[in-house]
Chains A and B, each alone.
Chain A
């Protein structure tokens, strides 16, 4: 277990709060981009020896999470002429507070889960869970479609972090995590955002509440 992992995870957690607290969309996206790159680094570190495929995967991750997807997000903001502010349903302070609570819960819950003696003391599980919760928080409290996508990215970053535990054991799984990104990249972003922007001339999902009882 590498001694650099935990510090990086701390950074990741801080970025969660940045994403929650930031009022401008660019900042949020940048935060997620940085988080993605950090994850790429994590891959490299998590695996003891830097063999080829690990390097590959780290690279792919950094490219996807850190470059491609943020790029598409920026494009989306540019194409769609919308205000650049995040429009939260719950205020920033409140969401920060909720995020803190979520992180606390995550840590508590992680306590109840026994950790294999190899990884004792690592922040991986709490970090993963709290990131997932942060993602959910973004998903449920941000009105714009794009911010929701960002939230989703954070959520799966959390899932991805947990994958670190399985790096040596079942590397295949981590590859799956990368696949998840591709999925988001291709669909949620590429097609939907553009369609929505074309149909609704604004990417606020509050427009998207026609279908109801």
Chain B
């Protein structure tokens, strides 16, 4: 029970910190000392305090967007094992639910974008759903590999770091899967080199342009949800890359937190050393991610 509470606590509290860490890393690379680690928390609080502006063209859909977005990510977070601890909710096929929850969130955030009737939001929504069409299969191929390796159909057991087939068989596929997952993670969370959460250059933006018209608490929810999505997917990637476990339960939690923060640093480094690709390359990379995971599957099926 206590484990579950810890899980929920981390899920609710930790995500903005990741953004803080990423920001700090980029600042360091940029030679600035940058905003404090907790800056994202301040922003969120400020946003929740603010009043809000709603376009006259919008309907309930526009308001439903952030709500559904946040709810789905929260629930998805409950399906992922943090560190060595099994997820609070885990059953056969939960990885499918995991993917489909994000799809549900996408459905409503994109619809909300279209609700404003502005060309920019429409563009963003179009790009969002378009790229996810390529990200989804990649994700599922990764799941296939994990399922085959762990001979199980539930994320908790998939990610518990034990591979009946033996590490020798597992290693090559796992490398491919990790690479693929990393690309998917960057795209899905609109990070450089695929998207930039900080600029507002319409021509290249995906996620940010979608939420252009949201303001105040709604915008806060969206950013909080985005952070949480990054956190959750990061947790998955972490378990694939480094399924380490400490002897002690609480040390295990600490290990997990450290790991996720390191992942944030890595992301920050990637963002600092790479420039954003042109839009036309995004699909190419996603297809590459797909192919990586497909090879992962083929390696196992041969």
A and B touch in the complex (CB under 8 A): no
> Which A residues have a C-beta under 8 Å from some C-beta of B?
none
